[in-house]
Amino acid sequence: MTEAPPWAAAAAALADAVTADAPAWHDAVCNTPRHRLVPRWWQRIPSSPAQEWERVDLPEDSPERLHTTYADVTLVTRVGPTHADHATPGEHGKGDPTSSSTLPGLIVSMAHRLDVRPGQRVLDVGTGTGYSAALFARRFGDENVTSVDVDPYLVEAARTRLAGFGRTPRVEAVDATGGLPDPEYDRIMATVSVRPVPASWLRALRPGGRLVTTIAHTALLITADMGPDGIARGSVQPDPATFMEARREADYPAKLNEVFTTARVREGEDVRPPDGPVPDLWQEWPLRWLYELDTPGVETRAATYPDDGRRVVWLLAADGSWARAEDGTAALVHQGGPRRLWDDLERVRRKWEENNRFPLHSMRAELTPDGSHLLAPAAAWRFAI
């Protein structure tokens, strides 16, 4: 009798935890050695003022490595332009995450929604470490799975590590927002967020095919089925999912620090009391995501004054527009630049309130290569995505 490998019990425990609602995926999770796909990763340094990360590099079968890699957590593998594989001992990563191994429970949940049938061709967008490709290949066969990522190193590393335990899906380095390796797929799942939904995906999705993806800068998870008329119709799902945005370069564009310098304390060109309470956009996330759908690309920051507990919210845009809202007994909004960003936020809030603050999962999706939209239950409120 063959002895089980040291990681088998940890993988089985993970499978028990994440496949309760998707039991067909239990075997795939049990038999996928995630620790071999994520040999090292970045861990944020607590209280680091410069967003610094330290590298974690543990022996392959050590209890600590197995405990972490078979937990239902996301492991950040790349920070800014630096992959954990390439960092030297003691080197600190700096910046925002640019690649990761997504928490297995979310991968399983999305794959379950994808509803792949035997013999169907699957496109896995966002190879990362190769974990989702490994799960698909285990269930449906290597020959039916294509996985793509914009980063050539990630693709080569994933291909090599997958082959190390017998998995050989097709893995290609391409910008998936453009051309795809093959002209047709039955299922497409993206573990990167996008906006717009790429036309190439919708052209490649066969009639009856299904797409599962998220909209950039929101946690809106969309499932849509391609109809015979070339329109994929679906809806926003009730459970949110957050992914890094699809990127084309080694790192994401720099944050709007120069605009923030202006917005931080400067007197606005337009100063007035807010129309209602200053929202906490980190707690009132449906409002934040509706605002992103309506007025895309606005960077949001917030802070609390330590002396009196007042909150301040900043809205920043690449064209130099900015807004600063401070709550308290004499709440004020300052706005500058070519657009009035806080006016836009208040307009979105009013319209949402006028329509009974509808749940975001009540929105429908209509996706075509010529343009995709989310349709709110509010009359004539639609968002290009």
| Active-site residue set | 99
Q: Where would I find the beta strands (DSSP E) of 170-275?
A: 170-173, 185-194, 205-215, 221-226, 232-236, 270-272
CB 38 within 8 A of CB 94: no
How far, in Å, CA of 150 to CA of 321, rounded?
Answer: 32
Nearest to 122 by CA among 145, 143, 142, 149: 145
- Estimate to the nearest angstrom the gap between the alpha carbon of 150 and the chain centroid: 15
Return the exposure string of 197-234: e unless at least 16 CB atoms fall within 10 Å of the residue's CB, then b.
Answer: bbbbbbebbeeebbbbbbbbbbbbbbbbbbeeeebbeb
Helix, strand, coil % over all residues of the chain, rounded to 5 = 30, 30, 45
Residue that has been written with the tokens 């003022």 in this structure: 49
What 3-state class would DSSP assign to 342?
helix
